[in-house]
Structure 1
Amino acid sequence: MPTVLGTPLFGVQTIATDETLQPARLGPALEERGFQALFLADHSHIPAGRPTTDPRGGELRRQFFRTLDPFVTLGTVAGVTERLLLGTGVALLVQRDPLQTAKEVATLDFLSNGRAVFGIGAGWHRGEMRNHGTDPRTRGALLDERMAAIIEVWTKERAEFHGRYVDFDPLFAWPKPVQRPHPPIYVGGGSAKAIARARRFGGWLPNAVGADDLGAAAEQLASAGPDVPVIVNAVPPTAEAVAAYREAGAAGIVFHLPDVPPAEALRRLDAFAALIG
């Protein structure tokens, strides 16, 4: 991970849509306010024809139906920023072709001069997975193989992979990422399997505990172990929550920017910026 993580890193995560603050404005707004990273969510679509519920309860919010592609959006942000780290939070790799995804992340890293951060996750919307031909019951094993195959493509001149779900003979693929050995990988999710996956691939990107349970912040980070850097997503925007996660040793603190009109989004960013000093 870039050395900015030693500061620690402060960032913003959002679900970019055709109705929210456009990426060409969002990226510079973050840099101007002292943020070091942007993380974007990933949904190709939401299946119609049956009730769809948010994993946190209630009906899905409008933004899930209108999500912009994170890699195209981050490419736009790369062109109008100089320092901002460009992350997926998280890319649904179980719904993406591994060779094409390897190309997209490497291209983003190349064009941004080494600013890509690859957040990955197994997803939660089973109907969305099935429309991509993914069996929800085996998505964890599929995620592991696809990530391992992508690393091979990034790091080998002649990449080759033979697994149960991913299989290809030797191939050439450029560009290679600017970062060595490859862009940092952060695994989303709060389960024991997600934490084990984070230990295997590099870093962990869990959602924060709630504002009423900040005493559990240190316990949450400790569950990953001392050698796993943790970027905490959706940290409650309070001074108490920021202090709790900094004291717990978080490598990164990320605030969630909801789907609000552009003027309100800028006001929210000002409020977040006041918390990071």
Structure 2
Amino acid sequence: MRFGIATFVNDDAIDTVSLARAVEERGFTSLSIAEHTHIPASRETPYPGGGELPSVYYRTLDPFVTLAAAAAVTSSIELVTGIALLIQRDPIITAKEAASIDLISGGRFVFGVGAGWNIEEMRDHGTDPATRGALLDERIEAIIALWTTEPAEYHGRHVDFEPSYARPKPVRTPHPPVFIGGNSKATVTRIARHRAGWLSNPLPIDVIRSRVEQLADRAEHAVPLRMFAAPDDLGYLREVAGLGFEEAQLLLPTRSRDDSLRILDGLAESVARFG
């Protein structure tokens, strides 16, 4: 199992260039960046983790800008949206942003996507929470069409555009890997539909095992498995590896530059002990 780094990049923490270089220098395989466009002051939607919404959610940089900066100062790590809230994004612009990062990085972009959980946030983007699943499906399909065909067109209920030329195309063929976040039967269906991978959260092992079994039953492809924000817990990580995960993206708390570098050193030592 490979080990990457997952984090929330904030405007008052380690800078992106220092972070990306440090992740690559310590031998990690990826940098995965969380997204929230904004946090509405209303807290109608409860935080899934329980309690107050952590402060890191309020100050996140745009993941595509962040990954582009990381691409310019690295040469080997994969650059992952973990996850891009695609129901809040224009698919044509997102396709161009993602393909641009893939081109700049020489084919190192990985497209993690999901529907999100913050109802107020998605409503501010004009998204109806009741149809966000269908919207996500169509936007994934539309982006893949823009990446892989020219001229590209897509005609759905929520996304509709006539034949169009869209450049650049991604470097990686047929297109960058798509990983879908979430933990539900709908997530399993979506992964199977799009022949995607699963970008799991660090759920209890029994829950993960159940989802992996469902994916094996439903999907007609071998589903790649990765985990966002995995804990620094060797016992847990060994169980995750035993379930077939190809990568665990270890959680890097959002801290100052010096604190982040020190934590990364500790995570690298844990990976060495994992063996």
Which has the higher mean CA deviation after the structures are superposed, 133-142 or 214-223?
214-223
Tell me the TM-score normalised to structure 2 length: 0.93
- Residue 163 of structure 2: which of 164, 170, 176 is its match? 170
Instruction: Kindly provide the amino acid, as one letter, of the partner of residue 201 in structure 2.
Output: N
C-alpha distance in 2 between matches for 1:239 and 1:63: 25
Does the 8 Å contact 1:232/1:250 carry over to 2? yes
1:204 aligns with 2:195: no
Q: Evaluate the alpha carbon distance shift between residue 157 and residue 262 of structure 1 in structure 2; reply closer, same or farther with a 3 A threshold.
A: same
How far apart, in 2, do the equivalents of 1:89 and 1:221 lie? 19
- Once residues 198 and 207 of structure 2 are traced to their aligned partners in structure 1, the CA distance between those partners, rounded to angstroms, is 17
Larger RCO (alpha carbons 8 Å, 6+ apart): 2
CA contact (8 A) 1:204 1:224 kept: no
State TM-score, norm by structure 1: 0.92
Map of 1:275 onto structure 2 = 270
Q: Percent identity at matched positions?
A: 47
Provide the rounded CA distance (Å) in 2 between the counterparts of 1:9 and 1:192: 27
User: Which amino acid in the other structure matches residue 269 of structure 2?
Assistant: A
Equivalent residue number for residue 189 of structure 1: 182
User: Who is 1:224 aligned against?
Assistant: 215
1:5 is matched with none
Query: Hey, what's the Cα distance between the residues in 1 that align with 2:15 and 2:45?
Result: 26
Greater CA deviation, 218-227 or 243-252? 218-227
Aligned residue for 1:181, secondary structure, equals coil
- Alpha-carbon separation, structure 2, partners of 1:185 and 1:174: 19
Aligned position for 2:250: 255
Query: Structure 1: which 5+ residue stretches go unaligned?
Result: 1-7
Q: Which runs of 5+ in 2 are unaligned?
A: none
1:238 aligns with 2:233: yes
The answer as to whether partners of 1:52 and 1:60 remain within 8 angstroms in 2 is: no
Q: Separation in 2 of the partners of 1:138 and 1:153?
A: 23
Deviation at 1:52, TM superposition (A): 6.1
CA distance in 2, matches of 1:52, 1:235: 24
Of residues 116-125 and 243-252 in structure 1, the stretch that sits farther from structure 2 once superposed is 243-252
Q: Superposition pairs for residues 1-277 of structure 1, below 5 Å?
A: 8-50=1-43, 53-201=46-194, 202-210=196-204, 214=205, 217-225=208-216, 227-277=222-272
